Structure 1
């Protein structure tokens, strides 16, 4: 890589890169070891973990069935899902099925415009399609998506 800070051994000496990794160590052979910490559990096929970059320090985890959960900085999961598109998402109980909720991203200016984008499988008639939708956060609750805003 052209950026030396991302290349070993600079990773260990760059505090910006290691400040949120937990414990970072080097073994006797000089190999980098990261000690990971569990931040969420009890989820069904989680496949996306993102933050909104809105200063709230929440993170969001999306499940293949069409649910997105908001987690607070103390790692507690909110009781109601941030987004629930389970009725629209095409998925099945087959192990290894690659259909369903497939991704989420927040607009770079989400803090100001409340826009987010979701990528998921749908069934239209007898056809299976991929849908990319824009949603907005609820005007009344920053922890819920306005499901009627989908476009």
Structure 2
């Protein structure tokens, strides 16, 4: 009986795990300068794309769990980067609105993608796009119900 399939060198999941850890480490220093964690940065990027969205829309866009999102939003609110306001059209809904400080932080964050990419100098822009396309495929396939 062969156990070749149980060796780490043959595991996609282990490669993804190692890559995820390496990327998280690459973001740590640039985000420290903004006083943000990576999940907080993801939320801020989503809000920089489209401000004044519902929490449900933000969860859908970022794929962050609702419980984790609650904690992230609280911390971002405590940092005065956003506020939660009632939707004028539907009082049951809450909208997220960036503060002036949250908008200003976008200017300070513009170089973060380049700072992170420069930590992986052997990866070309076409390879980066190819990797993103493959990861989109993995995420899309793994989110489908059997």
TM class, shorter-chain normalised? under 0.3
TM-score normalised by L of structure 2: 0.21
TM-score normalised by L of structure 1: 0.21
Going by fraction, where is helix more abundant, 1 or 2? 2
- Of the two structures, which has the highest relative contact order with CA contacts closer than 8 Å and spacing of 6 or more? 2
